[in-house]
Chain A
Amino acid sequence: MPNLEHPAYPAAALLHLESLVPCRESQVSLLLSIFGERQQFSFPSIFIYGHTSSGKTYVMQTLLNTLQLPHVFVNCVECFTSRLLLEEILIQLQSCSSETEPTSPVPCDTFNDFVRLFKQALVSRELQHQTLYIVLDRAEQLREMEANILPAFLRLQELTDSNVTVVLLSEIVWELFRPNVGCFDPLTLYFPDYSIGHLQKILSQNHPPEYTADFYAAYINILLGVFYMVCRDLKELRHLAVLNFSKYCEPVVRGEANERDTRKLWKNIEPHLKKAMQTVYLREISSSQWERLQRDDGEPGQLKGLSAHTHVELPYYSKFLLIAAYLASYNPVRTDKRFFLKHHGKIKKSNFMKKHEKTSNHLLGPKPFPLDRLLAILYSIVDKRVAPTANIFSQVS
């Protein structure tokens, strides 16, 4: 295991950092070496990508917080326009070294303004001697803003002529980002998925205070055994672990088994977890309902999931309209005569046999059809006379 070492930072802080970011030591040490010392200029922009919940945001946050590096942390989903994003950065910058009360936000519409205001803020906060880190979480949103935003952020160091590093966090690879021309390529860094061992280690790290770490680790082991096949999302797994832990503890609380009796506990919990996989994980029933169910020890059958209510009642004509539309879009026009007229010519058998060779119409998807055909089919499948009333027309539209 590589120990975190860096001459610029105190060893105690590094040790603390290491305990906070399990299984990400190598990435952190790499980042540290890129960052260098506080006053040193760092690489202008860094791009970090990796799958959902591979610890990108968490690692960056803990790294910057524990080492007390000046930073700005912005989520790009939340700031859905470029203006909001830029203003947010400025506001955070103002309160970054919060000795003074944050003044009222300045309107900042263009990147030009931003650069100017940014420089001012740096000077007024006396941050020009350290590297400032701007972390843009969910950076894929940047692509949907104005075209100049992303390249400008990548060259922010150059544009502002100050010591700043922009860190982009995203779930997709850099190749999907790259604008056409004049773009500064950032340093890309990949966070790999956690392996099952990593997950085990991270999940068992924060165990409840009432129980021993071993006991919880055993529980996590069982949990992973059930859920690892379908879900590797750390957040989701942790959520599920908390939801089902009380059930796991039940025999211990009742005194039927002690904490070391793993087999017995496994037998108790396993069917329960499987049930959870079918319901809670798919959000068929909500987690609060699941908790209540556990408390009451009731059967989940009485609580219907979301998909139990799939039956939809429709008015009479709407139903037939839907059917007619379906028929019109999937049947070829030439079969209409055969299907919907009472007296039609006989079909030759050879003709009929040929049909089976063709691919099913359902594979080809629905086809467009004229309105008249829809209505004609509607009239023929409803056995009573249908008045062509406004109600039907309005439903068609």
Chain B
Amino acid sequence: GCFVFKPSAKKRKLSQRTAHDFGIRNDNSEDTELRFVTCQSLWNQIKSETEKVQEDLNKQLLDNLVSFLSRSHFEFQEKTTEWTCRMKFREIPTAALVLGVNVTDHDLTFRSLSDFLQNNITPYIALLEAKDCPGIKNLMQKLMGQLMNCYIDVDSLEDEDYVQVSQNRIRCSMSSLIKWYESVTKKTDSEMPSKKRTSSSTHWQSPPVIVIFKDMESFTTKVLQDFIVISSQHIHELPLVLIFGIATSPMIIHRLLPHSVSSLLCIELFQSLSCKDHLSTIIDKLLLTDQFPFKLGGKVLQVLINIFLYHDFSVQNFIKGFQLCIVEHFYSQPLSVLCCPLVDLQRRVNSLSHDQCENIRRLPSFRRYVEKQESGKQVALLTTDNFLKEETQKLLEDLHVYHENYVSVLRCLHVFTSSLPKYPLGKQIRELHCACLENQVWETEEYESSLQLARMLNKSDLVTMLQQCVEILLSSSGKEFDKTVERLKKFLTQFQNLEEAFQEQDVSVSSQKELQKKTDLYHLQKTLLELKESRRSKKLTKFEMLRFEVVDYIDSLVRKYLVPADHRTLHEILYFNTAAVLRGHLNAAPRTALHTALNNPHWYLKNQALKCDGGSISNKAPDICIVYKLHLECGRLINLVDWLEAFSTVVMAGEEPNAGTASSDQVDDIIHARFIRAVSELELLGFIKPSKQKTDHVARLTWGGC
């Protein structure tokens, strides 16, 4: 059936299962522990990295929100009695947080938001979800429960307070909330000057109470309206701030709330970063670095990105998918023990067992490598473990270096391609990355056309791009780029020289002057033709020559460094490339799976006896498969008696032909029972349903059914 990927379950499983279980299915379980530890540490690294990225991305949003909140209850702080303040009726300050359609990511954002606010603005925060609040009563209960609990947390659980709280909880009304708020603020006021001033000086004297509606769209209108009306009546006593989490568009506020209610709010809009930008940053930080030894192959990355773009826009799911890749890689690939930082590499290679060496020899990429070597070395590689180990270490180091260079050159290429019209190689660096991982990028048509376009770039663009490239290469850790940088710098100075030279020569201007002198029509025509001719056949200008040179040089860089990873030896160790597994896990196709299971039970049951060719129906297959196949041949309505007969024929066919003929007209009871069970199973799966038109018929529901 349907496999819904539950990340939390997976993780729990991972931590509960020990390293012992990790390798249960694999033959050589010697390195499993090490593999497990490596996997865990790698994932922890990646997790912390992603969290950091997330924090950085949310910073802008949070800062804006904080400044809004501090502004919002300014008047409450000052307690001004100016004319304007007296006259205006108080609106509830409200922040509308537009978070985009990727609902799964919102949780994280809200969590970081509430943490941040708790540390900087106010201890009084309530997070409300629509599913907890079907009515205003539940909402108030939830709200008060959260607020008062947090108060207890802040003041480190005093017993008498707790009693008070539990008493209050019986009466969930706004007035008790206000009483609570007054008592709390008074208490902190009296306590603060003495000692706590320094510790909690980040909070103000009367901190606002923040109520966050996580999913505003799913709240019922009535609840929201009532709550807003109630709280607007008490805004003078209780500095309340609302935060609406909105997934679609801010217009939803007006659609949900009538004008009489929305006029009680003072709404300001905050937009979070778009999820696509978020993904780009994540890819940039996770994949296009040399920080982590583990890498994704082209197809796998494509699957992950497709799920993101086509299905959910959820960065969180992308990261979970990435996690799954890591786990799967370390689980299924015994050699992944070598997928470690370079520092540990030597130790690990040296401690490889003989079996593991055999594993290396079995790798397709390694075999290709061996075939290219001379015969003496071939023998050494295939027979001597120690030699193999040395070679492996060298190759793996090469692979790491290759990745470093790859990333820098990829970024350079992206600088060029991202500014071309129509983006033949894609706008985002991830598209370029996929293209380069997939196959040799310089053989593709898109690459050709983008080079063509690059040859037509104007000078200022070209110069800025070259400068960017120089910066990228300088900042990269690769050692081979000294020469490249030098070359690029030379190009830059050449361009500069060109500019100076260009100002001096005014050839074209002089020719035009000449042109003006001639008044004769015939001559004029002649010279024009000549000019045209010369322009066409004219040697390329210096600038054009230089431009060609630059593009050719970039081309040579690409050919040298952007070789796809699966052309490198031992890429299997660092690159995870089994996209089919991933697709099966993340993007399951329940209908297809069901069809396969029923049509071809061998696929799942792995029983040799079940293997059969397409058309015929084997009697060894499970009953439900037989019934299923038979029902495929029927029309919309299926006669149960005919069906049963066909079923019994198939089942009896293989068994004892003699006994079958004897009782052909009378169906065996056992077979009858088997048939009924299979049919009811089919009904459970939703393929058929009983029909009311004819009592002894069932109706098909799939493929042309009703």
Contacts and interface: CB of A to CB of B under 8 A. Distances in A.
Interface of A: 52, 75, 77-81, 84, 87-88, 105, 107, 206, 208-210, 235-236, 238-239, 241-243, 245-246, 282-283, 286-289, 304, 306-307, 309-318, 387-395
A391 B83 CA distance: 58
Given A77-B229, A306-B267, A309-B269, A390 B248 contact: no
Given A317-B311, A390-B4, A80 B592 contact: no
A80 B307 CA distance: 46
B619 interface: no
A288 B91 CA distance: 10
24 contacts: A84-B172, A88-B175, A107-B170, A206-B87, A208-B84, A209-B83, A238-B88, A241-B87, A242-B84, A287-B266, A289-B268, A304-B269, A307-B250, A313-B276, A315-B311, A315-B313, A316-B311, A387-B592, A388-B589, A389-B587, A390-B2, A390-B589, A391-B312, A393-B590
B249 A288 contact: no
A315 B312 contact: yes
B463 interface: no
B310 interface: yes
Given A312-B249, A313-B100, A313-B101, A78 B274 contact: no
A306 B269 contact: yes
Interface centre among B72, B137, B267 (most CB of A within 10 A): B267
Contacts of A88: 173, 175
Nearest to B587: A389
Contact of A317 (B175, B226, B310): B310
Contact of A208 (B83, B88, B100, B140): B83
A288 B268 contact: yes
Nearest to A53: B260
Given A206-B87, A208-B83, A288-B93, A79 B173 contact: yes
A286 B175 CA distance: 28
B588 interface: yes
B169 to A, nearest CB: 13
A313 B590 CA distance: 28
B263 interface: yes
B195 interface: no
Contacts, number: 138
A316 B101 CA distance: 12
A226 to B, nearest CB: 17
A388 B594 CA distance: 12
A206 B3 CA distance: 68
A290 to B, nearest CB: 10
B589 A387 contact: yes
A55 to B, nearest CB: 15
Given A239-B88, A393-B2, A393-B590, A87 B171 contact: yes
A80 B266 contact: no
B554 interface: no
Contact of B87 (A242, A307, A312, A393): A242
B266 A306 contact: no
Nearest to B246: A309
B152 interface: no
Contacts of A81: 137
Nearest to B586: A391
Contacts of A307: 250-251, 254
B96 interface: yes
A270 to B, nearest CB: 21
B262 interface: yes
Contact of B274 (A283, A288, A313): A313
A389 B588 contact: yes
B101 A287 contact: no
6 nearest A-B residue pairs (beta carbon): A306-B250, A286-B266, A316-B310, A391-B311, A390-B588, A208-B83
B249 A243 contact: no
B591 A388 contact: yes
Contacts of B174: 78
B260 A52 contact: yes
Contacts of B136: 80
Interface in B407-436: none
B197 interface: no
Interface string B86-121: 011101011010101100000000000000000000
Contacts of B260: 52
Contacts of A388: 589-592
B370 to A, nearest CB: 39
Contacts of A107: 170
A84 B230 CA distance: 14
Given A311-B249, A313-B101, A242 B254 contact: no
Interface string B109-144: 000000000000000000000000001110010000
B91 A312 contact: no
A316 B268 CA distance: 30
B599 to A, nearest CB: 15
A316 B267 contact: no
Contacts of A310: 249-251
A78 B592 CA distance: 54
B309 interface: yes
A40 B100 CA distance: 64
B345 interface: no
A393 B591 CA distance: 10
A394 B4 contact: yes
Given A87-B171, A390-B2, A78 B269 contact: no
Given A75-B233, A286-B266, 15 more contacts: A80-B137, A88-B173, A210-B83, A238-B89, A282-B259, A307-B251, A312-B101, A312-B249, A313-B274, A315-B311, A316-B311, A318-B101, A388-B590, A389-B588, A389-B589
Given A243-B88, A306-B96, A390-B588, A286 B268 contact: yes
A392 B101 contact: no
A172 to B, nearest CB: 14
A287 B88 CA distance: 10
B137 A314 contact: no
Interface centre among B170, B311, B313 (most CB of A within 10 A): B311
Nearest to B257: A283
B26 interface: no
B19 interface: no
A389 to B, nearest CB: 5
Contacts of B310: 315-317
Contacts of A312: 101, 248-249
Interface string B226-244: 1001100100000000000
A391 B306 CA distance: 12
A96 to B, nearest CB: 15
Interface centre among A288, A304, A317 (most CB of B within 10 A): A288
B265 A283 contact: yes
A126 B44 CA distance: 72
A56 to B, nearest CB: 15
Contacts of B185: none
B71 interface: yes
Contacts of B137: 80-81
Given A77-B226, A388-B591, A309 B313 contact: no
B173 A84 contact: yes
Given A80-B136, A105-B171, A288-B266, A315 B309 contact: yes
A392 B175 contact: no
Interface in B31-71: 71
B253 interface: yes
B332 interface: no
B58 to A, nearest CB: 19
Contacts of A84: 171-173
B271 interface: yes
Contacts of B268: 286, 288-289
Contacts of B266: 286-288
B231 to A, nearest CB: 9
B630 to A, nearest CB: 23
A304 B270 CA distance: 11
A148 to B, nearest CB: 19
B88 A242 contact: yes
Contacts of B98: 309
